[in-house]
Structure formats: C-alpha cells, structure tokens
Chains A and B, each alone.
Chain A
Amino acid sequence: MRISVIGTGYVGLVTGACLADSGHSVCCVDIDEAKIAKLNDGIIPIYEPGLEDLVERNTRENRLSFSSNVTEAIESGAILFIAVGTPPGPDGAADLSHVFNVVRTISATATSPKIIVTKSTVPIGTGEKIREILDTNGIRHEVVSNPEFLKEGAAISDFTNPDRIVIGTNSAQAMKTMKRLYQPIVDAAPSRRASVIEMDIASAEMTKYAANAMLATRISFMNELARLCGKVGADVKLVQNGIGLDPRIGQRFLNPGIGYGGSCFPKDVQAMIATGREHDSPFQILEAVHAVNERQKSVLVELITSYYGDDLSNHTFAVWGLAFKPNTDDMREAPSIVIIEALLSHGARIVAFDPVAQANAESIWGDRISYTNLNKDALKGADALLVLTEWKEFRVPNLARMKDELGAAVVFDGRNIYDPDVMRKAGFTYFSIGRPPVLADTDA
C-alpha cells in the first residue's frame, strides 16, 4: 500500500518509519524544508531510542522517503495520514488550523479518491468537519480517525507492540483497508495482545482524550493525596503500593511528583475541558485535575523557600533532569520550566544537567542558567540538589561522593526516587513529595 504521512514531527516520523518497517511504501512530508533536508541527510531531528536505525534501514531499502512537496505526496499516496501539530489555542481548545490546511490542500489537489486518516489528536467533531471540507470537491474520499497512543521515549515499541489500535470510520471499505494496513503490526506484536478496536469517528476521537484524561487524573489524584500525606505523617509511597495492589486500581501511573508536562497531557486535558464547556457539560473532574497540576509545579519551590527563606540570591542549586519525563529531550510544558523560573526570580543560581534535553533547555534559558556535562560536576559547591526528572542514571548515585561534592548535603527530590531511610543514614537532609522530610542531624 502506498502511504503518505503529512507532518513529519514526532508522531509522523514514528508512524512513517514503523509502517515502512512493516513492509509498506511510505513518503513522509513536511512543510518544514530544513527538517526534510536533515532527514534526507540521515539526521533525526528528535531524540527517540531506536528511531535512527529504523529510519536508516527503511530509507536504504527504499520503503521510506522524505519530501517537502505536499501535493506530490497527496497524489502518490492511497492512504494519507495527517500527523501535523494541534497545539492549544489561547482558550485551551485545540488549534486545528494545520489540520484544516492539509485537508483543504487535499480537497483542492487530489485527483483520485483517498483514505484520509487523522493521527493528530483532534477534538470530537473534527472528523465531521473534515468530511464537510472534502465534500466541497466532487471526489468521494473516506475519512478515518486513528488516534495515536505512543509515548515519547518508548515510541517505537508502543507503535509496534500496541495495547490496542483504535480505528474509527463509518466506511466499511476504509475499515477493511485500515485493518489490512495494520495486520502486519498486529501479527508481529510480541505481546500477542494487539488488536484493532473498531468504532465510529466521534468515539475514536473521544477515546484519545479519554485515555490521556484518565492518566492525567491518576497523576493529579496522587499529587493531591501526596500533599495530604505530607501533612498527616503518612508515607505516600506505602499508600501508593497499598492501593495499587487492588486490581481495580493497578500500580501504573500512581507516582506523585511535580506535575505532568509534555506536549500531550496538558493540552489534551485542556481541550477536553473546552469541549465540555462548549456543550454545557462542564468537566468538573478535569478542571480539578488541571488546577491541581498547575499547583503541583510550585510544591518543590515552596519546600525550598520555606527551608531557606524567600531570598535565594546567595544560593546555587544543582538540577538533575530538565525534560518533562525520562528518555526524551522534550521540554514542552516541562515542570522544570516553572520551577527554574521561580527559583531564578528568587535570585538563585542554577547549574543544570540533563542527559539529552540540554540543547532544548538552552533555547529556553540561554545563559540565564549554566549547564554541565557530567552529572557529578553539576553538584560542585551547590547548596542543594534538585531532582526534577527521574532518569534511570539518577537512581543509584554514589551518595558518599554526592555528599562530598555538594556544599551542603541537601536534596529536594521531586520524583521520590530515593529511599528516605537510605538518605537519613547517608547523612542527608532530604525532602520529597508526600513523605515526611528527613532532617539531618547537624552535629553528625
């Protein structure tokens, strides 16, 4: 099957590479010519484990190509995936201008019937609007919603070993074609669990938001409870384990922290809230989820200012982790942004380290903060260490050396990656989320 993927960002590139790898012939297009030029030179513009190999192999074997000529790609593809960005507009609702631009181009230029598949996350009713735009042209195209559930940092395995593939369409023919398209992935999925779930377009669009909204709800729920745990002397980590063993709840997505970030949860939750308001059916729980998340980003700063006072101008903080989560260089809506900005406004100096997000961080802060390459250097002379992203390499540090290098043995852990008992024994003052603080014996 000849496939064109329109929009070669995170989702578009992974979709194109994985579909090519399952034997299809794929052209990825983007209006960003610099991006396409890089890809044609074998340079992958994002950090994603395994992606580079996949792209290299499939381009070498001529199943995957890149182009900045959108109309040509529309003409050559039988199935057109739309994977352009849908960022939040000023009111929180998704901005669909990129999606509609693409659809209008298809409507104006396609000379044969296409199956048009929306991979971008779009609000409920968008499929309907796409249909209306296409109907202005004489050709009968089919419209499909096929939301993407991949996670940055595990995108390849999520795409090729999915929990489920959701396909929404009213056309039996398009459904058949889409199932054929995904059959190689279903057959090869190591889990043997992958299955196609068929539904109508509106339900498919809703499914994507519902999934992210549920995950965001779990996070904010735990963050709200962590605040309470901290106050009543309960340990949120034990509570988390106690409830997670209930199979009706499950262990996943119960880690309290400094709030969710990234390019999906915040925007999808806000888009869902906007949809609810539009229909006079306000989404009370999600409004609370969003409010709790905004609030959660300042929790660590509050701990810091109540420990040192509001004036931090004589303080240097080492920061480990900037990306919104591990295994990605994505800094969009990362809690680290809010936290570091707040600390800077209190006069603090920041020395930051992230295994892959530093380049993106530099475009945010420039030289307002400094960066180090080796995480041990990030501690030299600092008054405290802040852990903002739970990268694996931060989990088992050499505590003795850490204590030596730090100006004072103080850690603010926004991700609960250390054991309070271990920190106490190692002589640290240790603050974490929803657990009683460890105050080092200053005489020791």
Chain B
Amino acid sequence: MQIAVIGTGYVGLVTGTCFAESGNKVICYDVDESKIQALENGNIPIYEPGLSELVLRNASAGRLRFSTDMAESVKDAEIVFIAVGTPQADDGSADLSYLFAAVENMASHLTEDAIVVTKSTVPVGTNAKIFAKLRDWTGRDCNVASNPEFLKEGAAINDFMFPDRVVVGVRQSEVGDVLRRLYSTFLRTDKPFLVMSPESAEMTKYVANAMLATKISFINEMANVCGCVGADINDVRKGIGHDQRIGFAFLFPGVGYGGSCFPKDVRAMMRMAEHQNVDPQILRAVDEVNLRQKTILLSSIEKHFNGQLAGKRVAIWGLAFKPRTDDVREAPSLNLIDALKERDVHISVHDPVAMENVQQLYGDDLEYALSPQDALDHADALVIMTEWGEFRHPDLSEMAQRMASPVVFDGRNLYEAAQMKKAGFVYYSIGRPKVMPD
C-alpha cells in the first residue's frame, strides 16, 4: 500500500519505518526541515535501539522516503497516518493545534478514498472533529479512523512489530478491513485486532496509560507507608504480584513516572472528565502522588545531611525518565537537579545516552561525567534516578573509594540491603528500611 505519515517524530518515524519494512511504500512528512534533511542523510534524530538500521535499509530499498512537501506526500497515499505531537496545553488538556494544522494542510491533497488515521494520542471526540473539518475543507465525507499507538520508547520496534493488540476505531467496517490487512503482517501470533468506535478507541489509549500510571502511583504510596511502618516494599511486592489478578508488571516503586506520555495523558484525561462534569478523583490523586514522588529522595537527603546541603557534592546516575531512551521530558531527575541547585549543591551526572539533552537545559551548571564511576569522585552522596542495566552491578569497593562518603540514595531499588551493608554504605532506597554499614 501507499502510505503517508504526517509528523516524523518518535511515533511517526517508527510507524513509517515498520510499515516500509513490511513492504509498503511510505513517505514520512514533517514540517521540521532540518529533521527531514537529517533523515535523508541517514541521521536518526532519536535514540531507539534497532531503528537506525531499519531506516537505512528501507530507505535504500526505496520503500521509505522523507519529505517536507505535503502535496507530494499525500497525493497518492491510500492511508494517511497523523502522528504529530499533541503536547500538554497550559490548562493540562491536549493541545490539538499541530494536529488540526496538519489536517488543514493535507485536506486539498487527499484522494477521494484516502483513509485518514489518527495515531497521535487525542481526546475523545477528536475523530468526529477531524471528520467535520475535512468535510468543510474538502466538501466530501472522508474516511477518518482512529488507531492509537501503544509502543514504548526503548522497545518501540519490537512493540510495533509484535503488538499485544491493535486497536482501531472506525465508522465503516470496510475501513477496518483495510487496516486489518495493513496490520496483518504484524499479527501473525494471533494477537487480537480490535475494531470499535473511534470514541472507544480514543478512550482506550488514555485509559491504558492512566491505569499504568495508577499502578505506579499506587505502589509508590504503598512504599512510602512501608517506609513509615518498617515493612519492606520488595517483600510486599512479591506477596501481591503472585496474585494472578494483580501480577508483577508495573509495580516497581521508584521516584515517579515521567516521559512524554504518562504525565500529559493523565492530565488530559482529567480535563476531559472535568469537561463532562465527572470528578476525576483517582486520576487527580495519581498525578499529585507522582509530583510528590519525584522529590521523595530530597527529604531523605536533607535529613541525612541535617539540612546542610550547600557546598556538598552529589553525583546522579541516570537522567532519562526511564532506561533505553534519551528522553528527559518530565523526567524526575530534572526536579531533583532543580531542587539541589537551589540548595547550592555541586552536581555531577552520568547517563549513557541522555546527557546531551540535559546539557541543553542546564549547560555548564552541571558536571557531565563520561562514566558512572567518574561521576563519583569526592561525592558526598550518590543518587540513582534511572535503572539503566549498567548501574545494577557496579564495583562497590571502587565506588566507596572514590566517594568522599559512601552514601547512596537509590530511587530505583537496584541493590540488596545485605550487599550494601557489607560494602560499607549508608543506603537509602524506596519503601525499604535504611541500611547502615557493619
């Protein structure tokens, strides 16, 4: 099939590349000329394992092209995916201005039976609005479908090619059939292809993210109470995870969720509910708990140093909002950096891939270390903010040696208490008892 993808960011590029990989002819369009230029030169603007190789292979096979020309991109397309950003507006709702700008631009170039498919995460009712606007701009009833994307950054290719399920929202079953055919190569493992109304499909995306965010805030609050009563959240987690109705996934306590999706989707959903006079009590609690959780370690740090933080040296391992991505949008590390800077702490940081993005925000205010161990020299404390694999088995004796004092605040519960005790660390983690050295 001939496909256009409008908006070549994270989701757009992965979508376009994967559809090219399954044999379609794809043009990825973006308004950002430098991004398109970079892609044409084979430079991938985001960090995503496996993506670069796939882009290059499909581009050289002529199945994947990049363009800043809307007419060229859309004029032969049977399916037009919209994958532009839908960031958070000032009031927390989703900002749909990019989306409607893209729809307006494409309108005059769409063929009669092109199917316009929204991949971006959009509030319920957006599909109906796109349909109405396209009718105004084209004078005909266009096919507009909804196809929310569930990929995870860091595992995007795999998530796209081996989805747990594909959700499409359509008004005519024939449109569903076309999309089913398009996705059939990825659905070999009899994973379901769910056809529903656009409203239900739009809702599904928000509900999925909201539920995952709820699980995280739930276990974080549980961990905080564990800390107060002397229970160990890790044992509790095992105790409940074995329950078939609960499971282990997404019940890891930490320093809060971040990224470009959970925070904004939870808030967009709250606004959606408020507009309908439904009080989003649980979502509001989830959002507030998360905000608090992002600086939960700060209070332990302050307590440990008796409030005397000025002039201290703190090392931070991990800046990205989660491992295997360079994305620092809404990352808890930023909240911690801000709080520590305010208290005149000297900060050295290390992240395997996200340092550049942080440097753009903080410039020379921070020290950027090339390895985890290099960040530790003379540090009064180490704070772990992202659970990168390479932080899991460090050389503890080298760590203790390099640091001015062996104190670790672990926001991701990477280490065992006994191990830290033996290695002579003072060790704080989330929802587990504090460890003092032997």
Contacts and interface: CB of A to CB of B under 8 A. Distances in A.
Interface stretch (B228-236, B396-404, B408-416): B228-236
Contacts of B217: 285
Contact of B249 (A204, A228, A247): A247
Given A199-B235, A217-B218, A249-B211, A285 B286 contact: yes
A245 B246 CA distance: 14
A241 B194 contact: yes
Given A203-B236, A207-B240, A247-B164, A252 B282 contact: no
Contacts of B143: none
B229 A164 contact: no
Interface string B283-327: 111101100000000000000000000000000000000000000
Interface string A50-74: 0000000000000000000000000
B214 A285 contact: yes
Interface string B152-195: 00000000000011010000000000000000000000011010
B204 A232 contact: no
A246 B282 contact: no
A283 interface: yes
A288 B285 CA distance: 7
A227 interface: yes
Contact of A285 (B194, B210, B238, B289): B289
B272 interface: yes
Interface in A191-237: 193, 195, 197, 199-200, 202-207, 210-211, 213-215, 217-218, 220-221, 224-225, 227-229, 231-235
Contacts of B167: 242
A279 interface: yes
Nearest to A202: B231
A181 to B, nearest CB: 18
A358 B236 CA distance: 38
A225 B284 CA distance: 13
A231 B276 contact: yes
A291 B281 CA distance: 8
Nearest to B205: A242
A210 B239 contact: yes
B276 A232 contact: yes
B436 interface: no
Interface in B225-267: 225-232, 235-236, 238-240, 242-247, 249-251
Interface in A274-293: 275-276, 279-281, 283-289, 291-292
Contact of A163 (B229, B244, B249): B244
A221 B211 contact: yes
**For this complex, into which size category does the number of interface residues on chain B fall?**
35 or more
A392 B203 CA distance: 29
A200 B232 contact: yes
A229 B236 contact: no
A106 B96 CA distance: 67
Nearest to A168: B235
Contacts of A203: 226, 231-232, 235-236, 239
A288 B281 contact: yes
Given A225-B207, A227-B278, A242-B194, A213 B218 contact: yes
Interface in A151-206: 163-164, 166, 193, 195, 197, 199-200, 202-206
A284 B125 CA distance: 30
Contacts of B245: 215, 250, 252-253
Given A124-B231, A211-B243, A249-B211, A234 B276 contact: no
Contacts of A163: 242-244
A243 interface: yes
A197 B236 CA distance: 10
A233 to B, nearest CB: 5
A242 B221 contact: no
A193 B214 CA distance: 28
Nearest to A212: B240
Interface residues of A, number: 64
A374 interface: no
Contacts of B226: 203, 206
Contact of A248 (B125, B212, B236): B212
A205 B202 contact: no
Name the residue among B167, B214, B284, B289 with the largest chain A CB count within 10 angstroms.
B214
B83 interface: no
Given A245-B164, A249-B208, A197 B235 contact: yes
A149 interface: yes
Interface centre among B124, B224, B235 (most CB of A within 10 A): B235
A149 B224 CA distance: 23
A241 B232 CA distance: 34
Contacts of A242: 165, 167, 194, 196, 200-201, 204, 207-208
A164 B278 contact: no
B197 interface: yes
B150 interface: yes
Nearest to A167: B239
A73 B415 CA distance: 46
A218 B278 CA distance: 18
A215 B215 CA distance: 11
B424 interface: no
A207 B235 contact: yes
Nearest to B274: A228
A397 interface: no
A207 B239 contact: yes
Interface in A252-298: 252-253, 272, 275-276, 279-281, 283-289, 291-292
B197 A276 contact: no
A23 to B, nearest CB: 25
Nearest to B224: A281
Contact of A283 (B221, B227, B232, B284): B221
8 contacts: A164-B238, A204-B235, A207-B240, A224-B282, A225-B210, A234-B203, A235-B197, A242-B200
Given A124-B230, A200-B235, A285-B289, 16 more contacts: A124-B231, A163-B244, A202-B232, A203-B239, A213-B218, A214-B215, A229-B203, A232-B276, A235-B197, A239-B204, A249-B249, A249-B250, A250-B249, A281-B227, A281-B228, A286-B221
5 A-B pairs closest in CB distance: A207-B239, A164-B242, A242-B204, A199-B235, A279-B228
Interface of A: 124-125, 149, 163-164, 166, 193, 195, 197, 199-200, 202-207, 210-211, 213-215, 217-218, 220-221, 224-225, 227-229, 231-235, 238-239, 241-243, 245-250, 252-253, 272, 275-276, 279-281, 283-289, 291-292
